[in-house]
Amino acid sequence: MGVPNVYRKSSAAIATYSYTDIAAATGIQIYYLAKTVDLTVLTPNAIYSNTVMTSSTQNYTDGTFKLLHDVDFDITFNLAQTTRGTAIVNIPIGILGVTAVKTYSAYVILKARHWDGSTETDLASNQSDTIQFTTSGVNEYKYAMFAVDLDLTTPKLFKKGDTLRLTVEYYAKNHNAASQGEFFFGHDPKNRATTDQDDETFGDEPSIAEFHVPFKIDI
């Protein structure tokens, strides 16, 4: 008799991560924030974003923080997986002070959310530091690269078809009357420098934004 063939059931695909934290039994996946023509996405691939930044011009006089940007970046999972641990978001923001001898401030609030197609659930939220500067002349810049932690230590199962969402809320303030400012944040996985039609630019400053997400793994 010949030796019988034994066919084993194929094993599930092995997930790969950007790096792992053995002590915490988590795999860390880096997602880049980016925009396509129609979408705002979280992607594991270093694509060219359709636009390098999101920006707006404001010229208000009441001296209070205003919400200027509220943008959702999404990724939908094809396999079930569970977030667990501390997530880190690196996000660059900038201010162009158009008017001389005026003061400007800005910060972002970042929110990790679960979206199942009908219900949005907040998982974690945190506020960055605040940047502030006073111009001595016209068209002066201030930049910051923030590192913001999000507490995802309570495990959250994402089923197949569920969406992980990172919401970026950008708040800014003109401290003085008639002080026009331009406020922006970067989201280009290729980290390009750029200047748009309103003269905002990241120049030599980073324009890349990353979301480091911890997933539960069996070690």
**Higher-confidence position of 83 and 9:** 83
Looking at the domain assignment, is residue 10 inside a domain? no
User: Among residues of the chain, what percentage have pLDDT more than 90?
Assistant: 63
Looking at the domain assignment, is residue 17 inside a domain? no
Residue 73 burial (CB count, 10 A): 22
Mean pLDDT of all residues in 49-78: 88
**Higher-confidence position of 170 and 16:** 170
Looking at the domain assignment, is residue 6 inside a domain? no
User: Among residues of the chain, what percentage have pLDDT more than 70?
Assistant: 87
Domain count of the fold of the chain: 1
Looking at the domain assignment, is residue 49 inside a domain? yes
Looking at the domain assignment, is residue 152 inside a domain? yes
What is the tens place of the pLDDT at every residue in 11-49? 344 467 888 877 777 899 999 999 999 999 999 999 999
Domain of residue 77: give its range.
26-216
Average the pLDDT over each of 99-103, 129-133, 196-200 and give the range with the smallest value.
196-200
Looking at the domain assignment, is residue 149 inside a domain? yes
* Cα 188 to Cα 90: distance, rounded to the nearest angstrom: 12
Query: In the structure encoding, which two tokens stand for residue 101, read together?
Result: 């001898």
pLDDT at 61 over 70: no
Let me know: does 166 contact 111? Beta carbons within 8 Å: yes
Mean pLDDT of all residues in 178-199: 79
Looking at the domain assignment, is residue 3 inside a domain? no
Concatenating the DSSP letter of every residue in 97-131 gives E-STT-EEEEEEEEEEEEE-SS-EEEEEEEE---E
The CATH number for 121's domain is 2.60.120
Looking at the domain assignment, is residue 107 inside a domain? yes
